[in-house]
């Protein structure tokens, strides 16, 4: 089986659309920048990723609890968190065609280190020095406006009935704030004791200057976050452990290790003690941030205590001493995770002398676990038997019925959506109650007794 893998972002986008994984948002109106919809197979894969992540923390661990906080929060939350004053990206516009660019990313492309945490003045100095080497992605000009810090929070008029919206509410710029807001509730109502973590999957919205690279940078996203609360100054060892756990999770879920690497942040926000990203080698543009793992000290709870006036100190059950726990955070966008997993699984290979595209997703993640085919759709006895098998398999796992076209074509369709097993009901089935099960990765087929089928597939 020759692997002729030449994956590009174009191929991935095309497969994702063609096979119902991802559709451009509002497509019938011409599309909307930075928005995507998950189609029938996409939503299955997305849910499986969420389930696998949730299982890791909530089902398998004793030191994590789950949460699902409201999207809308008191606007003071975003003041306390620093998002209102400093959640911005450096923006410049091409003077010729008005295309907006994100300056730190454009500087990065020509090898100049910059990030959104630098001051507007420093970014302007750096940009002026290197501007001639930066080209507008649309018209190729190097004539740009000065850099301005553009706040990414999305405003809403939720709860405003004056029509003036003088005190706007905001969509969350990051999902994790809900965890800080509920720290006290969780401590007061459950049996957790520091050190412990809270895990949450939640929506976040950012007015990204230039959404790009498919699901990599979108304006609406879902984030899977964990916040692990530790005693003050007991962060270092736990941080190393959490970093290792996240790395191992990707490997366990099937990501190839050569497509992952660590990157430490050069420029830390003032309160952070350390920050690393797990980067993934995305097709067509290479390594970039997949997940952030941050050692955030006591900043978040201290800020919310200050702005809300609520005491967020934790009382140590052994010493009765009080302290604000320090926080170790992991945060990954589900869209980026989805993109990394389908990129990693995408293979073009040769099977039985034919080239095919196959998504070699971990079985746990595959949208459809088994496809059921009657060998011929015009033989009622085969169809009836196949329906019977389909109906009992459906109770146990996501299955798909396909009786369209020859078996080879049906295999190709299932390969492209990553279905690990195809089950064919043929004339032998009617004789001896066995079916043919074909394996996605090897193409090998074996006869399995119907009574053993569920166990075999599981
Ligand atoms: P970047 O530098 O790429 O803008 P960030 O450092 O601002 O990302 P964080 O605020 O740390 O990102 O967010 C945590 C995670 O959320 C990121 O690692 C990424 O997986 C995801 N994420 C952030 N912004 C976006 C976005 N616009 N689209 C999709 N996912 C995102």
Name residue 356's beta-bridge partners.
349
Both 241 and 291 in a single domain? Answer: yes
Tens digits of residue pLDDT in 63-98 = 999 999 999 999 999 999 999 998 999 999 999 999
Both 92 and 73 in a single domain? Answer: no
Query: Which tokens go with 192?
Result: 């957790």
Residues 6+ apart with CB under 8 A from 289: 263, 277, 278, 279, 336
What CATH number is attached to the domain comprising 340? 3.30.930.10
Quick one: pLDDT at residue 380?
95
Q: How far is the CA of 424 from the centre of ligand 1 (A)?
A: 44
Structural domain of 424:
368-457
Question: Is the peptide bond prior to 195 cis by the omega test (within 30 degrees of 0)?
Answer: yes
What CATH number is attached to the domain comprising 379? 3.40.50.800
Tens digits of residue pLDDT in 13-35 = 999 999 999 999 999 999 999 99
Q: Among 122, 151, 180, give the residue marking a domain's end.
A: 151
Average pLDDT, the chain: 95
Residue 357 lies in a domain: no
**Residue 139: how many CB atoms within 10 A of its CB?**
13
First to last CA, the chain: 25
Residues with CB under 6 A from ligand 1: 174, 206, 208, 217-218, 221, 223, 289-292, 331-333, 335-336
Looking from the CA of residue 215, the nearest atom of ligand 1 is 29
Please give the share of the chain, as a percent, with pLDDT higher than 70.
Answer: 99
Looking from the CA of residue 208, the nearest atom of ligand 1 is 27
Both 236 and 319 in a single domain? Answer: yes
Name residue 374's beta-bridge partners.
425
Residue 355 lies in a domain: no
Residue 428 lies in a domain: yes
Best residue for ligand 1 mutational test, from 331, 334, 335, 338 (most atoms within 8 Å of Cβ) = 331
Q: How far is the CA of 397 from the centre of ligand 1 (A)?
A: 33
What is the domain count for the chain?
3
What's the average model confidence in pLDDT over 286-312?
Answer: 97
Both 73 and 181 in a single domain? Answer: yes
**Does residue 34 sit in helix, strand or coil?**
coil
Residue showing tokens 């389908």: 342
Alpha helices in 204-235 (DSSP H): none
Q: How far is the CA of 407 from the centre of ligand 1 (A)?
A: 43
């Amino acid at each position: 089986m020759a692997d002729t893998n030449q994956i590009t972002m174009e191929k991935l986008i095309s497969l994702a659309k063609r096979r119902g994984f991802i559709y451009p948002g509002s497509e019938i109106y011409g599309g909307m920048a930075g928005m995507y919809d998950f189609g029938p197979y996409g939503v299955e894969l997305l849910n499986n990723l969420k389930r696998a992540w949730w299982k890791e923390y909530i089902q398998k661990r004793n030191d994590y609890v789950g949460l699902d906080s409201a999207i809308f929060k008191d606007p003071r939350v975003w003041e306390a968190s620093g998002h209102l004053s400093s959640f911005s990206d450096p923006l410049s516009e091409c003077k010729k065609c008005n295309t907006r660019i994100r300056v730190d990313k454009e500087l990065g492309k020509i090898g100049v280190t910059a990030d959104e945490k630098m001051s507007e003045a420093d970014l302007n100095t750096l940009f002026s020095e290197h501007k001639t080497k930066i080209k507008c992605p649309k018209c190729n000009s190097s004539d740009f406006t000065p850099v301005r810090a553009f706040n990414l929070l999305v405003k809403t008029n939720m709860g405003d009935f004056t029509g003036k919206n003088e005190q706007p509410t905001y969509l969350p710029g990051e999902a994790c704030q809900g965890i800080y807001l509920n720290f006290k509730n969780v401590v007061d109502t459950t049996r957790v004791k520091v050190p412990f973590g809270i895990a949450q999957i939640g929506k976040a919205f950012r007015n990204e200057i230039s959404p790009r690279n498919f699901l990599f940078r979108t304006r609406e996203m879902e984030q899977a976050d964990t916040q692990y609360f530790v005693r003050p100054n007991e962060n270092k060892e736990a941080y190393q452990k959490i970093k290792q756990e996240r790395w191992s999770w990707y490997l366990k879920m099937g990501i190839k290790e050569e497509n992952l690497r660590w990157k430490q942040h050069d420029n830390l926000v003032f309160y952070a003690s350390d920050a690393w990203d797990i980067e993934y080698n995305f097709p067509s543009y290479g390594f970039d941030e997949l997940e952030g793992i941050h050692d955030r000290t006591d900043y978040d709870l201290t800020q919310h205590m200050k702005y809300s006036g609520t005491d967020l100190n934790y009382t140590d059950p052994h010493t009765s001493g009080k302290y604000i726990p320090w926080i170790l955070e992991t945060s990954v966008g589900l869209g980026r995770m989805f993109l990394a997993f389908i990129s990693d699984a995408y293979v073009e290979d040769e099977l039985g002398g034919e080239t095919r595209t196959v998504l070699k997703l971990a079985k746990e993640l595959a949208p459809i676990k088994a496809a059921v085919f009657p060998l011929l759709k015009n033989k009622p006895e085969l169809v009836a038997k196949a329906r019977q098998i389909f109906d009992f398999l459906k109770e146990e796992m996501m299955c798909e019925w396909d009786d369209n076209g020859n078996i080879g074509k049906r295999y190709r369709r299932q390969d492209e959506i990553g279905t690990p097993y195809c089950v064919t009901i043929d004339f032998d089935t009617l004789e001896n109650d066995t079916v043919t099960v074909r394996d996605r990765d090897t193409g090998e087929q074996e006869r399995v007794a119907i009574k053993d089928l569920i166990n075999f597939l599981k």
